[in-house]
Amino acid sequence: MSVPNGFDLHSLTIFLEVVATGSMTAAGTRLRLTQSAVSQVVRQLEEGLGQTLFDRTLRPLALTTAGRLLQDHAQRLVRDAERAVSQLRASGATGLPSLRLGMIDSTAAMLGPAVIEALLSTQQLLLWAGLAPNLSEALLQRRLDLIITAERLDEVDGLDRYSICREPFVLVLPDGFYPGVPEDLKTAVRSLPLARYSARSVMGTQVDLHLRRLNLDFPRTFEFDGSATVLAIVAAGRAWTITTPLCLLQSRDLWPRLQISPLPRPGFSRQLVLVSRSGELGEAPRLVTEAARAALRDTLIPSLLPDLPWLGPRMVLDGDALD
């Protein structure tokens, strides 16, 4: 059954005002409408529903049985509409009713707490960690609202992108495997196998491209999705790897068994960005980006520098190199 003509939130609001005041004239005064305009709306409601809503022989006006039934439904409909408007307006500030955030595995543990702190006013928060391609697909299919990733998705229209930081890839060998700072990658790693990030990850793809640019071909002996496994096998003396500082932070307990150094030139880096659909989340993308940058600037990067002082100029935050 179709909704009758004139049955909408505007007409229901006028109807409820007539109920509250007991007079079409008084309702018109409150709503800044003429008495005839109010009468016309009520008449259209009655004609569309095929029911008389008010007993007009009484003063103040009294509801009929059909009018009382409509009052119950109208109050719920108008209340729900007002709540929806309130929540939508809140989404333009900081108080989103719900938010679904994805973060690549290598950043979730490090940046997650700071991001959650920035979104405490959100009534419902989903934080999903995973590989960048999976997060990108979830964003494009509207299963996530925004993602922190190493994929900019520049080929997709209708997205906003916020730069968080740029971090260098570094060389990680078993402790004591090579004396000093390596100047040549192949010499430094010798016959030790490479522990790779899987080819289905952005990290794995970026490392593979870099090695191809250098005309280096290492056997695919070890291949893993997560940094913890990659670094554990290096710490055990069984492999070497190329990773990033934020990935290293996840396994700080392994550092005594690792040799961490800059990559022999030419180096390369990855950019972390926040990607969200344009114009849908108000200030939330900016707040999350600022929270992530603050965590890097105030906590995460300072925790790296005592052991890896050479990282300072190489960690670029929001366009500025850190001293």
Q: What is the CATH number of the domain that holds 125?
A: 3.40.190.10
Residue 2 placed within a domain: no
- Tallying the residues shown for the chain, one arrives at 323
Residue 157 placed within a domain: yes
Distance of alpha carbon 297 from alpha carbon 148, whole angstroms? 17
Residues 286 and 161 in one domain: yes
Residues 157 and 276 in one domain: yes
Residues 219 and 261 in one domain: yes
Please report the pLDDT score of residue 323 as a whole number. Answer: 43
Distance of alpha carbon 192 from alpha carbon 184, whole angstroms? 14
Please report the pLDDT score of residue 1 as a whole number. Answer: 52
Domain count, the chain: 3
Q: What angle do CA 56, 60, 64 make, to 5 degrees?
A: 50
Please report the pLDDT score of residue 250 as a whole number. Answer: 87
Residues 110 and 195 in one domain: no
Parts of the chain with a pLDDT under 70: 1-3, 83-97, 120-123, 319-323
Please report the pLDDT score of residue 188 as a whole number. Answer: 85
Query: Which regions of 62-213 does DSSP assign to beta strands (E)?
Result: 62-63, 98-104, 124-130, 146-149, 159-168, 170-174, 195-197
Residues 255 and 290 in one domain: no
Residues 56 and 77 in one domain: yes
Residues 41 and 75 in one domain: yes
Residues 218 and 241 in one domain: yes
Q: What is the pLDDT of residues 122-151, one digit of tens each?
A: 657 888 888 888 999 999 998 999 999 999
Distance of alpha carbon 272 from alpha carbon 108, whole angstroms? 12
Please report the pLDDT score of residue 187 as a whole number. Answer: 86
Please report the pLDDT score of residue 256 as a whole number. Answer: 95
Please report the pLDDT score of residue 190 as a whole number. Answer: 85
Residues 189 and 243 in one domain: yes
Q: What is the CATH number of the domain that holds 57?
A: 1.10.10.10
Residue 312 placed within a domain: yes
Please report the pLDDT score of residue 8 as a whole number. Answer: 84
Residue 184 placed within a domain: yes
The verdict on pTM exceeding 0.85 is: no
| CB distance 270 to 202 below 8 Å | yes
Residues 217 and 175 in one domain: yes
For 117, the enclosing helix (H) or strand (E) is helix 105-118
The boundaries of the domain holding residue 84 are 9-90
Residue 83 placed within a domain: yes
Please report the pLDDT score of residue 99 as a whole number. Answer: 82
Residue 1 placed within a domain: no
Residue 258 placed within a domain: yes
| Helix, coil or strand: residue 198 | coil
Residue 3 placed within a domain: no
Contact residues for 62 (Cβ-Cβ < 8 A; gap 6+): 22, 54, 55
Residues 160 and 178 in one domain: no
Residues 221 and 72 in one domain: no
Please report the pLDDT score of residue 4 as a whole number. Answer: 75
Would you state the structure tokens that stand for residue 95, as one six-digit string?
């108080």
